[in-house]
Amino acid sequence: MIFLADLARAIRIPAEFDFLGLSSFTEDRSDRTRGLSVRFTSHLSRPIEGRHCIIVEDVIDTGMTLAYRTATLGARRPASLAVATLLDRPQRRLAERALAFRGFVIPDDFVVGYGLDYHGRYRESPDLLVARERPRA
């Protein structure tokens, strides 16, 4: 949401914003592709049919959740559907999706701050910080 807020202040054309919540997890944490479950935690408040839409993400990692999100939203027949992300980790990609807007490509480090958290902590940091150790899943 921090990235979206900064992006919203920089946009110079009329725009509306809505929120869609997704949660993803794997049954087998040793295999990122097996048993992936995605569920909606909140839904859009308005229809998107015939509208130009941009999905705004903080980090694109494996791309699995994004693939689910774009397929689900694409079925709602928007006029266009693009993806913007602040951070991209292409080396972890399992499902490809074209990114219309990308802020930074980052290595396979675990980052917190600027709205990104680890167990609900560190979101308040105004900077992106690399964790010394990658948290265990």
Q: Does the annotation count 58 as an active-site position?
A: no
The whole-angstrom separation of Cα 41 and Cα 99 is 24
Q: Tell me the sheet residues that pair with 46.
A: none
Annotated active-site residue in 18, 28, 61, 108: 61
Instruction: Give the phi and the psi of residue 21 in degrees, each rounded to 5.
Output: -105, 135
The residue among 17, 14, 20 whose CA lies nearest residue 40 is 20
Kindly state the tokens that stand for 72.
Answer: 């689900």
> 92 to each of 26, 48, 58, 96, how far by Cα in Å?
15, 30, 15, 10
Catalytic residue numbers?
61
